[in-house]
Amino acid sequence: MKLISDYFGCMVFDDAVMKERLSEETYASLKRTIEHGRSLNLSVANAVASAMKDWAVSLGATHYTHWFQPMTGITAEKHDSFISPAEKGKVIMEFSGKELVKGESDASSFPSGGLRATFEARGYTAWDATSYAFIKDGVLCIPTAFCSYGGEALDKKTPLLRSMEALNRQTLRVLKLFGNEEVTSVKTTAGPEQEYFLIDKDLFTQRKDLVYTGRTLFGAKPPKGQELEDHYYGVIKPRVQAFMKDLDEELWKLGVLAKTEHNEVAPAQHELAPIFATTNIAADHNQLTMEIMQKVAKKHDLVCLLHEKPFEGVNGSGKHNNWSISTNTGMNLLEPGDTPCENAHFLLFLCAVIKAVDDYQDLLRVSVASAGNDHRLGAHEAPPAIVSIFLGTELTEILESIENDTPYGAKEKELLRVGVHTLPKFPKDTTDRNRTSPFAFTGNKFEFRMLGSSASISDTNTVLNTAVAEVLKQFADELETADDFETALHSLIKRVVSKHKRIIFNGNGYDDAWTAEAEKRGLLNLKTTPDALPHFIAEKNVKLFTSHKVYTEKEMYSRYEILLESYCKLITIEGRTMADMARQEILPAVSEYGKLLADTMLAKKSVCDGLDNSYERETLSELSALQAKAFASVKALEEALSACKQIDNVTALSKHCKDNVLRTMRSLRDAADGLERIVSVDYWPFPTYGDLLFGV
């Protein structure tokens, strides 16, 4: 039997391999680069590149690629082979330090939102030495950041790394105030839980909507959905089990710490949770996970759907971003401690997150905005589009007692002084954990649950890191000038709680009453992507990102455009797919079935004493009415789609897509789903929800 420990990370150029294959000097120099973000000099880079190439070739690799995350969300790679011409028509395998550290990429077909003029089509990729290189499909992949020659970020990783820097800077200032001189670097950690659907590949290929858009645009509800809740943590079917086993192995080879796999609430839905890692590595690993999931599924004649809402009326798929801050000395800054000092730490960082989430609710919402996720947020299954924080009653009561100078709990007589008293113990992981909250404190980390399943976690973590960095900066500015640190700390915490407690909500986030209450509290409820995205370029947010050097103003505007553009593109593709399916498949099938009904009706009538033909007659009349409705909707949809071409402002276009394209798609779907319910299964042109959801 293969032992996991024997092959875990076998395709990764990790620390152990580096130690083994690099000279002591080169290894030390590379470690310094990794740990302190120093730049790598060329001779070291050459040595590392050569060792990396030898290692990769020994494992069968022939090519290398700078692997990066363009703003489209998926990862991109361009393969170059190691071969280099040598004497007598032979080749040798070569890979230089220059090629390792910096790659050039013809980037003209990646979205840049006008950052790169088309004549200057080149961008460059730079090695992110903190994320290990790995071999995938015979290609050495070098995790990189992607920039234009002007230095503008063209990817999702560059801003993420910048935001981690910003948080590091400000956190170190705060830790110094507590007298901590030991900690020299701080990183954020992330553990993204990934949901997905698995369906049969044969059935998948029979549906244009799934093939082109990743979600079903038609489909009547099956008689059995998820109401029995028999799928959640249910027994995993053999075919799925085989997939999961294979998936784990592939991920483990790549050093991804895939940990738990289980069934989710919806039929055919599953989840994979990794063990958390430093955020940029977690982001790379999550991208890899999504890619490998799809690849492994194909091998099992399955298709892995990562769309946020593949099936209407069935829970969609999200991604839970577990997040915390940890120091190079191994301290988790969101871990409540046992001593007054540790508690003071904890409370200050907790308050920083509370204030950051309240001040930048809009940005957090923007970071999860996409056409796909719009179908989820607020649909009584995923957290609502309103951002709020769940702390649990114990922690909330502690904060309240600090705010109001009232004793905490029945037994406590003393008032709680931050920095002087230890916190009363509160249960860390209560089982009645609130699962409806978009942003929940779960003992020693926060879990942000609004992300869509296909999203990169980079955007969200960039926002989180930067927002918390900004608040810590404000805290440090204030506390650094205080005469008495403890008094200043106490009153700062009091003030933050009183000003930002509106964001704390421990109740049921799916409840309509919460929407009304949130509005009273002045919290934002940005229901759709076109509602949310303009907040990205609001003055306060531009100020946030530019002052922490995470984005330039130009980068922000270009990102804004790219996001809106891809929203519009997605919706128009969906609209066109629907119109095609209706015209080429559904309407003709309905006519054929109608003909059968009409023929039968007449045949029955012509029998001498006229047999009862009520089924044929009534169904035909219902069928004709719905078919006419569907046909009218197709035409309205086509009109809405062609109107898109007349709109050249992308903000206006996004509104048109939301208000008109989606609306006509809705009425077409209603009519078509009505037809599906009365047309004979033999005539229906593609697999139904029942086939798809219960087919594996």
Instruction: By CB under 6 A, name the binding residues for ligand ADP.
Output: 189-191, 193, 260, 273-276, 320, 322-324, 332, 444-445, 447
Burial of 494 (0-12, 13-18, 19+ CB in 10 A): middle
Of 187 and 320, CB closest to Mg ion: 320
Of 320 and 365, CB closest to Mg ion: 320
What is the Cα–Cα distance from 202 to 199, expressed in whole angstroms? 9
Query: Is there a contact between 296 and 258 (Cβ–Cβ < 8 Å)?
Result: no
The verdict on 548 binding Mg ion (CB under 5 A) reads no
Provide the greatest CA pair distance for the chain.
106
Residue 552 binding: pick among ligand ADP, Mg ion, none (C-beta 5-8 Å cut-off by kind): none
Cβ 447 to ligand ADP, closest distance in Å? Answer: 6
Of 278 and 525, CB closest to ligand ADP: 278
Of 438 and 685, CB closest to Mg ion: 438
Cβ 320 to ligand ADP, closest distance in Å? Answer: 6
Please count the residues of the chain. Answer: 696
Identity at 424, one-letter amino acid code: P
Of 61 and 364, CB closest to Mg ion: 364
What is the Cα–Cα distance from 198 to 262, expressed in whole angstroms? 12
Identity at 372, one-letter amino acid code: G
Cβ 61 to Mg ion, closest distance in Å? Answer: 36
Cβ 505 to ligand ADP, closest distance in Å? Answer: 18
Residue 273 binding: pick among Mg ion, ligand ADP, none (C-beta 5-8 Å cut-off by kind): ligand ADP
Q: How far apart are the first and last CA of the chain?
A: 28
Of 320 and 365, CB closest to ligand ADP: 320
Residue 163 binding: pick among ligand ADP, Mg ion, none (C-beta 5-8 Å cut-off by kind): none
Cβ 469 to ligand ADP, closest distance in Å? Answer: 17
Count of residues near Mg ion by CB under 5 A: 2
In eight-state DSSP terms, residue 504 is B
Cβ 189 to ligand ADP, closest distance in Å? Answer: 4
Burial of 235 (0-12, 13-18, 19+ CB in 10 A): exposed
What is the Cα–Cα distance from 506 to 381, expressed in whole angstroms? 17
**CB within 8 A of 309, min separation 6: which ones?**
215, 316, 317, 372, 375, 376, 379
Cβ 315 to Mg ion, closest distance in Å? Answer: 14
Burial of 90 (0-12, 13-18, 19+ CB in 10 A): exposed
For residue 481, the tally of other CB atoms under 10 A from its CB is 8
Of 232 and 485, CB closest to Mg ion: 232
Of 71 and 457, CB closest to ligand ADP: 457
- Tally DSSP H helices, then E strands, for the chain: 25, 18
Query: Is there a contact between 661 and 669 (Cβ–Cβ < 8 Å)?
Result: no
**CB within 8 A of 423, min separation 6: which ones?**
336, 343, 346, 347, 398, 416
Cβ 321 to Mg ion, closest distance in Å? Answer: 9
Residue 190 binding: pick among ligand ADP, Mg ion, none (C-beta 5-8 Å cut-off by kind): ligand ADP
Cβ 240 to ligand ADP, closest distance in Å? Answer: 18
Residue 108 binding: pick among Mg ion, ligand ADP, none (C-beta 5-8 Å cut-off by kind): none
Cβ 452 to Mg ion, closest distance in Å? Answer: 15
What is the Cα–Cα distance from 423 to 97, expressed in whole angstroms? 53
Looking only at residues 185 through 204 of this chain, which bind Mg ion when binding is defined by CB under 5 A? 193
Of 254 and 637, CB closest to ligand ADP: 254
Cβ 263 to Mg ion, closest distance in Å? Answer: 15
Query: Is there a contact between 261 and 248 (Cβ–Cβ < 8 Å)?
Result: yes
Residue 195 binding: pick among ligand ADP, Mg ion, none (C-beta 5-8 Å cut-off by kind): none
Looking only at residues 308 through 347 of this chain, which bind Mg ion when binding is defined by CB under 5 A? 320
Cβ 439 to ligand ADP, closest distance in Å? Answer: 13
Of 262 and 298, CB closest to ligand ADP: 262
Query: Is there a contact between 443 and 332 (Cβ–Cβ < 8 Å)?
Result: no
Residue 627 binding: pick among ligand ADP, Mg ion, none (C-beta 5-8 Å cut-off by kind): none
Residue 664 binding: pick among ligand ADP, Mg ion, none (C-beta 5-8 Å cut-off by kind): none
Nearest to 295 by CA among 258, 238, 246: 246
The verdict on 270 binding Mg ion (CB under 5 A) reads no
SS3 sequence, 54-79? HHHHHCCCCEEEEEECECCCCCECCC
Binding track, positions 66-85, relative to Mg ion; x by CB under 5 A: --------------------
Residue 323 binding: pick among ligand ADP, Mg ion, none (C-beta 5-8 Å cut-off by kind): ligand ADP
Residue 189 binding: pick among ligand ADP, Mg ion, none (C-beta 5-8 Å cut-off by kind): ligand ADP
Cβ 636 to ligand ADP, closest distance in Å? Answer: 43
Q: Which long-range contacts (CB under 8 A, 24 or more apart) does 566-570 make?
A: 566/72, 566/111, 566/370, 566/371, 567/369, 567/370, 567/371, 567/529, 567/530, 567/533, 567/654, 567/657, 568/644, 568/650, 568/653, 568/654, 568/657, 570/213, 570/370, 570/371, 570/372
Of 47 and 290, CB closest to Mg ion: 290
Cβ 390 to ligand ADP, closest distance in Å? Answer: 12
Residue 275 binding: pick among Mg ion, ligand ADP, none (C-beta 5-8 Å cut-off by kind): ligand ADP
What is the Cα–Cα distance from 323 to 192, expressed in whole angstroms? 9
Of 244 and 273, CB closest to ligand ADP: 273
Residue 324 binding: pick among ligand ADP, Mg ion, none (C-beta 5-8 Å cut-off by kind): ligand ADP
Burial of 678 (0-12, 13-18, 19+ CB in 10 A): middle
The token pair at 489 is: 């700390």
Residue nearest to ligand ADP (CB): 191
Of 320 and 490, CB closest to Mg ion: 320
For residue 424, the tally of other CB atoms under 10 A from its CB is 15
Residue 191 binding: pick among ligand ADP, Mg ion, none (C-beta 5-8 Å cut-off by kind): ligand ADP
Of 449 and 548, CB closest to ligand ADP: 449
Of 273 and 353, CB closest to Mg ion: 273
**CB within 8 A of 339, min separation 6: which ones?**
422
Residue 48 binding: pick among Mg ion, ligand ADP, none (C-beta 5-8 Å cut-off by kind): none
Residue 159 binding: pick among Mg ion, ligand ADP, none (C-beta 5-8 Å cut-off by kind): none
What is the Cα–Cα distance from 65 to 80, expressed in whole angstroms? 6
Cβ 472 to Mg ion, closest distance in Å? Answer: 26
The token pair at 130 is: 């903190």
Contacts to Mg ion by CB under 5 A: 193, 320
